[in-house]
Structure 1
Amino acid sequence: MTPRRRLRRLPGLLALAVALSTAPAATGVAAAAPPQQVDPTRPDLGVNVTVFDPSTPLAEIQAKADAVYAQQVANEMGTQRYALLFKPGTYGTATQPLQIKVGYYTEVAGLGASPQDVTINGKVEVYNRCRPNADGSNNCIALDNFWRSVSNLRLAVNGAGQDGCRQTANFFAVSQASPMRRVEVTGGTLSLMDYCTEGPQYASGGFLADSRAGDVVNGSQQQWLTRNSTIGSWSNGVWNQVFSGVEGAPSEAGFPVPPYTTVEDTPVSREKPYLFVDAAGAYQVRVPSAQANTRGVSWDEGQTAGRTVPLTEFFIARPSTSVQEINSQLARGRHLLLTPGVYDVARSIAVKRADTVVLGLGLATLTAVDGSVPLTVADVPGVVVAGVTIDAGAQESPVLLQVGSRNGNSSPKKSGATNPTTLSDVFFRVGGPHVGKADTALVVNSDHVLIDHTWVWRADHGVEGFTAGVNGDTDRWRTNTGRTGVVVNGSDVTATGLFVEHFQQHNTIWNGERGRVVLYQNEIPYDPPSQADWQEPDGTPGWAAYVVGDHVQQHRLDGGGVYGYQRNAAPGITTATGFRVPETPGVQLHHVMTVHLDGIGVIEHVVNDVGGRSDSSTQGAPQYVVDFPAP
């Protein structure tokens, strides 16, 4: 019998259906442009979106998927973006399965109202990326398998024609910014590690939500969040495995062996919006509603709770579309669909109306130009931004995404307790594909915001051509500048899957009351040229990665890790502590750890002055604090 989803619907959500018609008009924008005409059954989603239906010859589908993969398998810093979409139906047979491999900047998604409406008899997989060593062997890892997604389909695992090692599992060997959502896996194992290539086979960081699977092999995943899902079993873990609202989740009783953190119910959740085709062939966007205290998948008892917005109510943008036109259409009350590509943004895309949806396809990317803030969201409830990547540009931006203004929640109408503004699969980059500079990547000033899976990354590698220092790190430190990854000033903000890495001061600063975080993952920067470059003004060695403001009275983190690896300085860089929080009963950290990987750097403590020292004597061995403050 299928376990039933346990939830408490947030009150007041019935008003969502009429919110757009009653939202106040925005002011201070360009003159309104005429509405875009969108064909409801054959919308123009751009040349990089391919839509298949069950009548498409299997060989044609396989050839297209193979061609995209061949281009994207190693295109880590490229500008190409793709989406492969499947209308309701079945693809592949027992003897001729459809086997798709997913490379960089590729979205594979079903267009059904339920994941079970699209069945792939075959696989949708991600393998290790292999690079040759000097001795002719291969170095095969998944540590850089970023920026791709799979969602809203049923995988009937079929490895016919593959070698014996691969036949019984669907491999999804990914690291950050590679979500799997709304997927049902049947007939085989879901493996988060590609153990069929040469080693070392490492993977680091991933996200599974609203999905159902049988046996799950974690393998070498160093940290992972599974949220609101149903699983049959879970094998092993490395440092930090977190389960929130997961039916079948393993117990955390033995922590840290194995390193499991299990939150019985997800405190606040909202599933990511998804595109689907209805029975009449019209394209729609389902916008799930916010829920409290949930577990299990959202679709086991019918359609995911929420509202349906016709695609005809969206403005469909392309990389050539001006920001002025986008803002004009948003001001008219349109939602925004960003088709795959890279958008140069010299002035802010401004979302000012409540309940607006901004949905990206194929990891659509906004790049700051001339120090702009690429995206701003006003102090209004119910805005959803999903599937968007935001890059810093060569001139420093004060922020890349700002949600609300400081002290902007003075009116109850601006509070979204039952309808939080939500960021789902929103990713940030400072450096990597080009030089990037930003003071802060993400600033959340509004109250009642939900961050559901984000990776906020100051690049530790890229194609910028740096040379000075080890791996160009001295150049990188001086050029790709990013002070802070995330600053949260709003109250009652929840984050499920907060990945923040390599910023040059505190990576995350949480000033708002009643913050709740489920899985925090951080690496402090690889590239400080010296200890003098990596210390606070008062002389404190290094910068704590996760800081809760001294004034905060209530805050909770379940499952957090701070990792150190330095390349540029000897005898090494010292960081005083991974987490710094006020010592008050209402501020609670559960299952937090630090680890140092290079054998030369040091993290003195886990949280404040508590927890063991991570250094050469404990290289690769995490130092854990079960609870802070201790019960």
Structure 2
Amino acid sequence: MQAQTPDFGEQVLIMDPAMPAAEVQAALDKLFKQQESSQFGTTRKAVLFKPGTYHNKIKLGFYTQLIGLGQLPDDVALKGGIQVEANWHEGDATQNFWRTVENLSVTPDNGTMQWAVSQAAPLRRIHVQGNMLLDDNGGWSSGGFIADSLIDQEINSGTQQQWLTRNSVLGSWTNANWNMVFVGVNNAPSSAQWPNPPYTVVKQTPVVREKPFLTIDGSGKYSVFVPALRSASQGISWQQKKVPGEIITLDHFYIAKASQDNARTMNTALAHGKHLLLTPGIYQLDTPLHISQANSVILGLGIATLQPITGTAAMTIDDVDGVKLAGVLFDAGVKNSEVLLQIGTAKNAVSHAKNPVSLHDVFFRVGGAGIGNATTSVIINSNHVIGDNLWVWRADHGDGIGWETNKTQHGIIVNGDDVTMYGLFVEHFHQYQTLWNGENGAVYFYQSEAPYDVPDQAHWMNQQVNGFASYKVANHVTHHKAVGMGVYCFFNDNPTVKLHSAIEAPMGEYIQFSHITSVSLGGTGEISHVLNQSGDAAKPGNEVVRMVGH
């Protein structure tokens, strides 16, 4: 007996291999036409593929998620491929954000899957039976992230400025630009000649939990699979077919819809022990979503978006074990929020090492779609939190932007101890982009740009110092590690502006930085030092500066 399909609402499309290929193609083409250039649009969509084979080639636009519903990626086979290009932006893919693919296999019809993207466009748990190209045939792109994936042949990163590959298996990799980082990757390229090419390789991933995902069984019953925590891992999690983890049937979830739900209805469900499935849409919140139960799963589909409208946080997570937050965009409202996401109420000594909170494909935006204000986008007070692909962005283009318009201080503040980040992208905030106060922090891949719109040097002084470092480790910290870092400037409102140092940190035996790059994009502005007083200036005529580390 087939189970009844849950009501996911109108923003979720469900594809069945029994459907005519032309019908599937027509629906996907219509969706792409709608979303191709809709960078700050309001439509959110998820496309779910039931297990089977599909003879379709999919072009993927903004705010669209493709999800294979199988137990394993090869259970859903796309014989035709997936393509992301930047025709809408004249081949420049630096604004191809907010789209994602997970849990399926792809056989490109021409042998190569083109994935020309930038931030907030992750690939997870996919099997590419062929090659991959990460740019639009020479146009710039500024990605990116791939995890838990098998690529049979070659990945050509092309003009990608930076990229993080985690826990994957590659045929091979070619090309590089500024900062290519590989963590727990089988057949990663050699890092022996860094920075020529600039490959940074960490053999094993210290501790990670893969992103929870929606799946379906043979009877048509939906559930969410929550992968188990892994330590000292390398390669994909699904190599042995039987993947450690927990199956949570969908009757344990509250299925929210932006058209009918609000903070009260969702908080009532959370307080009664329900997990939360956010179907695609923009959820305007007059009070924060409050996560108080240990092991809660909050899973967004189709780049589900949370926007506070009364100046509160969008979400607060209590200092509890094992919360998993995945696939959500936090979008600041017009009225200033002191914080958009807060994890843990205050700094404490409680250990969550055995069952940490984990964040997967969690994105933040201040401005761009309209005026937005947030003092800090995310504050982490709990210990042992794992971040797995975070883009924290004060908008530099779109609507509602300007030095005095989308106002901020910091992107992320980490107060908790033993916090680990894989793929931390933080850009354009007024003060420190990242402020790290906790002990034993670890970051594997960091990408940041100083604010573009500094009016003049006088408006951007940290006491007597030019500007605010992108990455600040507090002076009292004694243990910290960061690997594969890129900090860039582009002071297009005033190219005479200077940033004194890309990174500020105390010096000590257990403060470790390795493979740092600073860049003056197009020679527009200057980063005077790489780390504290060390490193040459990235400036016109000497745009890219490298530092092995400290």
Q: TM-score if structure 1 supplies the norm length?
A: 0.86
Change (3 A) 1:235 1:305: same
* Cα deviation digits, residues 62-99 of structure 1 (max 9, x gap): 0000000000000000000001110011111xxxxx10
1:63 corresponds, among 23, 26, 34, to 26
2:142 corresponds, among 204, 225, 237, to 204
Match status 1:625 vs 2:540: no
Is the CA contact 2:492–2:524 (under 8 Å) kept in the aligned structure 1?
Answer: no
Provide the alpha-carbon RMSD of the alignment.
1.1
Paired amino acid for 2:274: R
Aligned residue in 1 for 2:93: 142
The CA distance in 1 between the partners of 2:507 and 2:67, in whole Å, is 45
Change (3 A) 1:299 1:325: same
Q: Shift in Å at residue 56 of structure 1?
A: 1.0
Q: Shift in Å at residue 46 of structure 1?
A: 0.9
2:217 corresponds, among 278, 302, 306, to 278
Aligned residue in 2 for 1:562: 487
Is the CA contact 2:349–2:383 (under 8 Å) kept in the aligned structure 1?
Answer: no
Aligned residue in 2 for 1:231: 170
Mapping 1:370-519, distance limit 5 Å: 370-407=310-347, 409-411=348-350, 415-464=351-400, 476-519=402-445
* Cα deviation digits, residues 464-504 of structure 1 (max 9, x gap): 3x6xxxxxxxxx10010111000000001000000000000
The CA distance in 2 between the partners of 1:254 and 1:579, in whole Å, is 23
The CA distance in 1 between the partners of 2:507 and 2:76, in whole Å, is 51
The CA distance in 2 between the partners of 1:40 and 1:549, in whole Å, is 54
* Cα deviation digits, residues 99-131 of structure 1 (max 9, x gap): 000000000110001101111101111012444
Gaps of 5+ in 2: none
Is the CA contact 2:25–2:57 (under 8 Å) kept in the aligned structure 1?
Answer: yes
The CA distance in 1 between the partners of 2:524 and 2:171, in whole Å, is 41
Paired amino acid for 2:323: V
The CA distance in 2 between the partners of 1:342 and 1:422, in whole Å, is 23
1:368 corresponds, among 308, 329, 334, to 308
Percent identity over the alignment?
A: 45
Is the CA contact 2:91–2:136 (under 8 Å) kept in the aligned structure 1?
Answer: no
Q: Shift in Å at residue 410 of structure 1?
A: 4.3
The CA distance in 2 between the partners of 1:600 and 1:492, in whole Å, is 37
* Cα deviation digits, residues 349-396 of structure 1 (max 9, x gap): 000010000000000000110111001100001000000000101111
2:526 corresponds, among 602, 608, 611, to 602
Aligned residue in 2 for 1:72: 35
Q: Shift in Å at residue 348 of structure 1?
A: 0.4
The CA distance in 2 between the partners of 1:612 and 1:236, in whole Å, is 25
Is the CA contact 1:113–1:303 (under 8 Å) kept in the aligned structure 2?
Answer: no
Aligned residue in 1 for 2:103: 152
Aligned residue in 1 for 2:198: 259
* Greater strand proportion: 2
The CA distance in 2 between the partners of 1:441 and 1:129, in whole Å, is 32
Change (3 A) 1:388 1:600: closer
Q: Shift in Å at residue 40 of structure 1?
A: 5.4
1:86 corresponds, among 49, 62, 86, to 49
Aligned residue in 2 for 1:8: none
Gaps of 5+ in 1: 1-38, 93-97, 132-138, 159-166, 467-475
Aligned residue in 2 for 1:520: 446
1:121 corresponds, among 68, 75, 79, to 79
Larger Cα-atom Rg:
1
Aligned residue in 2 for 1:349: 289
Q: What secondary structure does 1:59 align onto?
A: helix
Superposed structure 1 runs of 4+ greater than 4 Å apart: none
* Cα deviation digits, residues 481-531 of structure 1 (max 9, x gap): 111000000001000000000000000011111111000000000001111
Mapping 1:526-605, distance limit 5 Å: 526-536=452-462, 538-570=463-495, 572-605=496-529
Aligned residue in 2 for 1:191: 133
Q: TM-score if structure 2 supplies the norm length?
A: 0.98
Change (3 A) 1:359 1:221: same
The CA distance in 1 between the partners of 2:36 and 2:135, in whole Å, is 17
Match status 1:331 vs 2:282: no
Paired amino acid for 1:312: D
Paired amino acid for 2:448: N
Match status 1:297 vs 2:236: yes
Change (3 A) 1:394 1:593: same
Match status 1:317 vs 2:272: no
More relative contact order, 1 or 2 (CA 8 Å, 6+ apart):
1
Is the CA contact 1:129–1:145 (under 8 Å) kept in the aligned structure 2?
Answer: no
Aligned residue in 1 for 2:113: 170
The CA distance in 2 between the partners of 1:303 and 1:454, in whole Å, is 28
Paired amino acid for 2:546: Y
